[in-house]
Amino acid sequence: MKIITVIGARPQFVKAAALSREFAKHSNIREILVHTGQHFDANMSDVFFDEMQIPKPKYNLNINSVSHGAMTGRMLEEIEKVLLAEKPDLLLVYGDTNSTIAGALAAKKLHIKVAHVEAGLRSFNMEMPEEINRILTDRISDYLLCPTQTAIENLINEGYKNTTAVIKNTGDVMQDAACFYAKQSQDKSTIIKQINLNKYILTTLHRADNTDNKQKLTNIVEALNEIHQQICPIVLPLHPRTKKKLQAFNLKLNVTLLDPVGYFDMIELLKNSSLVMTDSGGLQKEAFFFKKNCVTMRQQTEWVELINANVNVLTGANKQKIITEVEQMLIRPSDFTINLYGNGKASKNIINVLLNT
């Protein structure tokens, strides 16, 4: 089986690394990686691939820094050229980025089967471009590889039982990656020595819904500043876009700010934190993997099982709610033994589905 995997964002490289390691164990599978270039930064250097033991892409399309429409269109055009040259049996995509939908569309129009890892996730917020990407990708995929039972139920509710798509709960490849890299992170990271804090809240803030809205961003900044000064220190690796918006709105974050960190540093920050605050999708799960409660500064989440398990709580951009929930979640005892995401066996499950259905 010849598989082309299309990836473009840094989290997708981490996920692909987990599955690529399993692909490499099968002599009857050949994988070719295509990097669209959607996320391009210094951390996407050879060192990044070498340190994380990620196979280097055969193709790098170098498509970035353009509008959603232009980006998706150019990706569609360039991925089609790769597919025509390589003639794969299957195209595999992850998640909900422009790279995801472009890869799926290019393959489907050439009658190449599509496998969607992280299928069935829904935030039910159609203002998020990620929601549009994931819904459209699901609709044209032949293999819907779901990370959770909730994702399966979303697809059933949308009528996918009436399609020919193979729908399976495989677990989440992010847990596979977290298990693998957690064994190495302490030796590869010095971030804990740098911050020199015994207790802190790890925080990320980058979602456009929060950063592009002056009132929401003001509320969050005020909440973070108060928490940092009165409850517990906050450590926040600052996203470049958030930094620009803070400057544009003349807002000042009085917390411990870091430049964007690599994956090993993030794992160590997670391991040693007292709580996680975020508006990210993936970090909500990673908090669970490393047995940390989470406060999510959004109105909805794709990972509702975390809410149901009482290890995550939604606050939106409500200042007082953020502060109140942080106080409660810092002391809340939680059960992290429950199996929500496959316990690190998702990659093996995915390969079993692809080879046997």
The DSSP output letter for 161 is: G
Give the span between the Cα atoms of 100 and 116, in whole angstroms: 8
Give the span between the Cα atoms of 282 and 147, in whole angstroms: 12
Closest-CA residue to 308 (of 128, 148, 144, 134): 148
Residue whose structure tokens are 């809340």: 332
Specify which residues 59 forms β-bridges with: 34
Cβ atoms of 79 and 36 within 8 Å: the answer is yes
- C-alpha distances (whole Å) from 312 to each of 56, 87, 177, 339 are 35, 44, 21, 15
What strands, in cross-sheet order, belong to the sheet with 201-203? 256-258, 234-237, 201-203, 275-278, 294-296, 312-314
User: What is the three-class DSSP state of 113?
Assistant: strand
Could you confirm whether 206 is annotated as catalytic? yes
- C-alpha distances (whole Å) from 174 to each of 57, 179, 212 are 20, 9, 28
Q: Which of 39, 206, 228, 239 is catalytic?
A: 206
Catalytic residue IDs: 206
